[in-house]
Amino acid sequence: MKFDKKENIFLFSVDLEDVRLRVNDGLRYKPSVEKLTEEYLDFLNLYKAKATFFTVGDIPKHYPDLIKTITAEGHEIACHSNKHIPVTRQSEEEFRDDLQRNMDNLYNAGAKELIGYRAPTYSITKDTEWAFGVLTDLGFKYSSSVLPAKNPLYGWKEFGEDPRKMNTDLWEIPVSLREGRFFKVPFSGGVYFRFLPFYFIKKSFNFHYNKNRAITSYFHPYDIDTEQEKFMHPEINDNWIYNKLMYFNRKGVYPRLHKIMDIFNPSIITYKSYIELLNEGK
């Protein structure tokens, strides 16, 4: 299938991870990643869409058939680190080892060609720019790891909001940000997609499509898990308000996604297909 960049492109993606594995004694909670992934696959099938699944290396250990299920339907598997440690907390050596393990685990589970990477919590910043060199060494062709705004966690404001070639072989495709001069936050994934009023989300899709930009996204299994037990999520500094947001409006994700599909009729394509368009200069 051929795509034209002039169409509305929605780079729907899932950060495929199991939060239970990052909380104390987490395995006592119900496993749900397999079921939730199947739900995402059903959503994608409904629109005859192909998406990218940025997958953490410990997923195949707990869900051995999942990688094959996803690839069998023509979606892309990409890397999302082995242990979900932010790049800013690793040395170059540790980053390389972790990523190599991530790749080995995914290849052993049936992944075909790993050319894409997303850093945990968008943690490539000006200070960890060296990560692009490691990614190139390991054969990656794109990364989607930069949040191009000032942000309490990570963020690289000066990066700019368009995809950029970091060297001859590697694209960085930063996460899409909400329209507006203030509150430059993501809008098309995770907690923001559930929490922001739909009006802002719609406006931001419109804003970027008018500029002929593809919209990137990141959804997690937990974003649609309406039956998950209550526990403190990892990587939010035990902040109970933020933890409430982690559970906020999970049932609203599909209705919102269907509305986006109705209003903008975007083509959902993999990041891999998208960088082919970028390389063709479209």
Vertex 86 angle, CA 133 and 43, to 5°? 95
Asked whether 53 and 13 are in contact (CB, 8 A), the reply is yes
**Residue showing the smallest CB distance to Zn ion in the complex:** 15
Largest CA distance in the chain: 50
| Closest separation in Å from C-beta 80 to Zn ion | 6
Instruction: Pick the closer one to Zn ion by CB: 179 or 191.
Output: 191
Instruction: Pick the closer one to Zn ion by CB: 15 or 223.
Output: 15
| Closest separation in Å from C-beta 123 to Zn ion | 10
Strand, coil or helix: what is 54? strand
| Closest separation in Å from C-beta 242 to Zn ion | 15
Instruction: Pick the closer one to Zn ion by CB: 63 or 200.
Output: 63
| Closest separation in Å from C-beta 17 to Zn ion | 5
| Closest separation in Å from C-beta 2 to Zn ion | 31
| Closest separation in Å from C-beta 84 to Zn ion | 6
> Residue 150 and residue 249: Cα distance in Å, rounded?
26
Instruction: Pick the closer one to Zn ion by CB: 233 or 256.
Output: 233
Instruction: Pick the closer one to Zn ion by CB: 89 or 165.
Output: 89
Instruction: Pick the closer one to Zn ion by CB: 17 or 98.
Output: 17
Strand-pair partners of 77? 53
| Closest separation in Å from C-beta 168 to Zn ion | 28
Residue 108, both tokens: 């052993």
Q: How many CA atoms lie within 13 A of 59 on its CB side?
A: 37
Give me the residue label for tokens 């526990």: 231
Instruction: Pick the closer one to Zn ion by CB: 15 or 179.
Output: 15
> Residue 120 and residue 123: Cα distance in Å, rounded?
6
Phi/psi at 48 (5° precision): 50, 45
Task: Identify which of 140, 124, 259, 117 has the alpha carbon closest to the alpha carbon of residue 188.
Answer: 259
- Which residues lie near Zn ion (CB under 5 A)? 15, 17, 120
Task: Identify which of 53, 269, 281 has the alpha carbon closest to the alpha carbon of residue 171.
Answer: 281
Instruction: Pick the closer one to Zn ion by CB: 87 or 177.
Output: 87
| Closest separation in Å from C-beta 263 to Zn ion | 28
- How far are the Cα atoms of 34, 44, 138, 231 from residue 30, in angstroms, in the given order? 11, 25, 35, 12
Task: Identify which of 112, 64, 103 has the alpha carbon closest to the alpha carbon of residue 81.
Answer: 103
